[in-house]
Amino acid sequence: MNADLAQSTRLTARLTAGAGRILAAVEAVLGVLVGALLLALLATVLLGAGSRYVGGIGIVGIEDLGIWLHVALIAFGAPLALDSALAMRLDILTRHLPPRARRVAEVFADVFLVLSGLILAFGGVRIAQLLGGTSPTLGLPEWVRFGLLAAGGGLVLLVLALKRLAQRRATTLAAAFGIALTAFAAIPSLQLASGLPPSAALFAVALLGLVVGASLPHTFLAAAYVALAFGSSLPEPAIVSSTVAGMSKFLLLAIPFFLLVGNLLTLSGTAEQIVRFAASLVGHLRAGLAQTTLLTSVLFSGASGSSIANAAFGATTFQPELVRHGYRPEQAGALIAATSVLDNVIPPSIAFLILAAATNLSVGSLLVGGFAAGGVMALCLAVAIRLCVRTAHRAPRASSRERWHAGIAALPAFGLGVIVVAGIRFGLVTTTEAAALAAAYTFALTALARVPLARIGASLRQAGVEAAAIGLLIGTAGPFAFTLAVDDVSGLVRDFATSFGTSPVATLLAINLALLAIGLVLDIGAAILLFAPLFLPLAVAAGIDPIHFGVILVVNLMIGGLTPPVGVLVFVVSGVTRIPAARLFAEILPFLAALIAALALICLYALIV
């Protein structure tokens, strides 16, 4: 008996080690591929912009090539994003479950992942088989785009299986695959007469996915598929087709470029120059280091466009310094998370790009509105810091000469703002081209800083994986939103909003309350994609300027990055600093109050202009 047990233990150890080695090799290959795809994507967009200005005419098919490369980036980056910060898992609930219940939740979370992978893999193959013809601009078979996503689905299944085997969770893996395969095979032939619209099942399944800690994009796909059994008119190939259509927009190519800009700014040391300049301006004030953190977020916002990137940067750069100068660790972490909301409001903003893609609002006008809104938010946060932060530490007042030198050193970072905002606002380049130029500019900064190629490669991989996670979310929100539209959920939203009255004040109050509630459980990207098209017509009908409303919507939903249970910015800071998220949520209340006050001021402005 003991010999059999020992042999079983050795076999398990060999299986675990083998799975770990294969997983490392697969992830390494995918990482190189993702980095290469991002570079190819950047070269394609720059080539398109250059040909238009240098040659006088654009290259035929350059935008389509960029879109296809973007789909490939999402497909091959998605498996690497399963456990990333942008996997968008609501695991705060499962962490408090007893061990046995937690294992059950983990199995069902994996069921959502497996079901999603099966949908992408088999749905992609089926729609590829149904399609004929070639792309008129690229000369490539049309099925290639869908085949890429099918390959991505297969890789999700492979990486998930290897991860669970390496974690010695073969039993739970088998259970998850068994349940998912059964559901995948049975759902198309089921006709469950619940008396409720398919969107009710959609919401119920999505809620279950959130509760058990499944990744949000994969939850969207699985929910759309399960809704088939309740009368949904979107079959499996159409789900994949809608997903590909959602991510096949040239505007969305700006997202990986802005993420790359944020990574390269930190890598080149340019971000540290921003910190020094901010410290020279406000470091001598009361709570000067906290005010420096805030001002750095304002300045860093003009370069990265990613709140998550800024939260990770601030947690690494400012957290140790704040604690060393007398700030409580949880207070320092809360401050970093709160100031990071500015990056998705002050241009360039990834949130505004997603909003423009979902509603066709002008990106340039949204970015101008973001400047004003970000200024109001920063002022309110500065007041909250002055009132709530108690520390005796103050840096010496910088001389005019020191400020001048710090400003000169930070000029390369400010050049990014000129490239992006001025280029877009004056119509010199498209948003995607401006983002590509900004990425090329930061590549030049890293070259001047003599950054090792290995570190640049790691930044390319990280930006590619983060972009894949966001792109997959945008794509999978498509079939989810389609089901909502078919069931006229917008009518329910309209009835809720008009129950407060039809005046601009009543409409804004109702929509803001709804958005604050939505922000509690949904990531900002998903919330924008699902609800911006529903709320925007209501706001316009009430006489509110659509651009003003778009800014209000983004500011409101960014507050959700700080509120439990999702609070993605809090969890990013918690992951870097190892401070429990619950302690950060408790400390963030004064900053939440300041941001809600800023939201009220922005709404007031929208009502009086």
Residue 535 host element (H or E): helix 524-541
If one counts the domains in the chain, the total is 2
- Domain membership of residue 466 (yes or no) is no
Q: Are residues 287 and 392 in the same domain?
A: yes
* pLDDT exceeds cutoff 90 at 111: yes
**Is the preceding peptide bond at 347 cis, omega within 30 degrees of 0?**
no
Amino acid at 152: G
Q: Which residue has the tokens 């009132």?
A: 387
Residue burial 224-242, b: 16+ Cβ < 10 Å; e: rest: bbbbbbbbbebebbbbbbb
What tens digit of pLDDT does each residue of 514-562 get? 888 888 867 777 788 888 888 898 899 888 999 999 999 999 999 988 8
**pLDDT band with cut points at 50, 70 and 90 for residue 55:** low
Alpha helices in 248-398 (DSSP H): 254-268, 270-282, 288-304, 307-324, 329-339, 350-359, 363-388
Mapped onto helix, strand or coil, the DSSP state of residue 193 is coil
Alpha carbons 572 and 332: distance in angstroms, whole number = 14
Q: Are residues 547 and 424 in the same domain?
A: yes
Residues 6+ apart with CB under 8 A from 327: 289, 290, 335, 389, 391
Q: Are residues 324 and 211 in the same domain?
A: no
Q: Which of the residue ranges 168-177, 468-477, 593-602 would you say has the lowest mean pLDDT? A: 468-477
Phi and psi angles of residue 579, each rounded to the nearest 5 degrees, phi first: -90, 130
Are the C-beta atoms of 156 and 120 separated by less than 8 Å? yes
Q: Are residues 202 and 351 in the same domain?
A: no
- Domain membership of residue 575 (yes or no) is yes
Q: Are residues 264 and 234 in the same domain?
A: no
Q: Which domain holds residue 331?
A: 252-451+487-608
Q: Are residues 311 and 238 in the same domain?
A: no
- Domain membership of residue 241 (yes or no) is yes
- Domain membership of residue 476 (yes or no) is no
Alpha carbons 16 and 566: distance in angstroms, whole number = 32
Q: Are residues 114 and 30 in the same domain?
A: yes
**Is the preceding peptide bond at 533 cis, omega within 30 degrees of 0?**
no
Alpha carbons 306 and 341: distance in angstroms, whole number = 9
- Domain membership of residue 458 (yes or no) is no
pLDDT at 596: 94
**pLDDT band with cut points at 50, 70 and 90 for residue 138:** confident
What are the angstrom distances between the C-alpha of 294 and each of 260, 281, 375? 22, 12, 11
Q: Which of the residue ranges 38-47, 176-185, 355-364 would you say has the lowest mean pLDDT? A: 355-364
546-559 and 504-521 helices cross at what angle (nearest 10)?
40
Q: CB count, 10 Å around CB of 194? A: 12
- Domain membership of residue 462 (yes or no) is no
Alpha carbons 71 and 77: distance in angstroms, whole number = 10
The mean pLDDT value for 149-174 works out to 92
Mapped onto helix, strand or coil, the DSSP state of residue 105 is helix
Are the C-beta atoms of 34 and 464 separated by less than 8 Å? yes
What is the residue-averaged pLDDT of the chain? 83
- Write down which residue in 216, 248, 280 finishes a domain: 248
546-559 and 350-359 helices cross at what angle (nearest 10)?
130
What tens digit of pLDDT does each residue of 268-298 get? 877 777 777 777 777 666 777 777 778 877 8
Residue burial 455-480, b: 16+ Cβ < 10 Å; e: rest: ebeebbbbbbbbbbbbbbbbbbbbbb
What tens digit of pLDDT does each residue of 566-589 get? 677 887 777 667 787 778 888 899
- Domain membership of residue 471 (yes or no) is no
Alpha carbons 223 and 91: distance in angstroms, whole number = 18
The mean pLDDT value for 403-414 works out to 79
Are the C-beta atoms of 185 and 229 separated by less than 8 Å? no
Q: Are residues 430 and 363 in the same domain?
A: yes
What are the angstrom distances between the C-alpha of 49 and each of 54, 63, 347, 435? 9, 10, 21, 11
Q: Are residues 210 and 261 in the same domain?
A: no
Q: Are residues 441 and 409 in the same domain?
A: yes
Q: Are residues 244 and 258 in the same domain?
A: no
* pLDDT exceeds cutoff 80 at 186: yes
Predicted structure pTM score? 0.83
Alpha carbons 366 and 220: distance in angstroms, whole number = 28
Alpha carbons 269 and 368: distance in angstroms, whole number = 28
pLDDT at 161: 93
Rg (CA), the chain: 24
Phi and psi angles of residue 128, each rounded to the nearest 5 degrees, phi first: -65, -35
Q: Are residues 233 and 352 in the same domain?
A: no
Alpha carbons 214 and 342: distance in angstroms, whole number = 28
- Write down which residue in 248, 267, 286 finishes a domain: 248
Token digits for 95?
């962490």
- Domain membership of residue 567 (yes or no) is yes
pLDDT at 358: 84
Q: How many whole angstroms from its chain centre is CA 293?
A: 22
Q: CB count, 10 Å around CB of 414? A: 14
- Write down which residue in 202, 231, 248 finishes a domain: 248
**pLDDT band with cut points at 50, 70 and 90 for residue 151:** very high
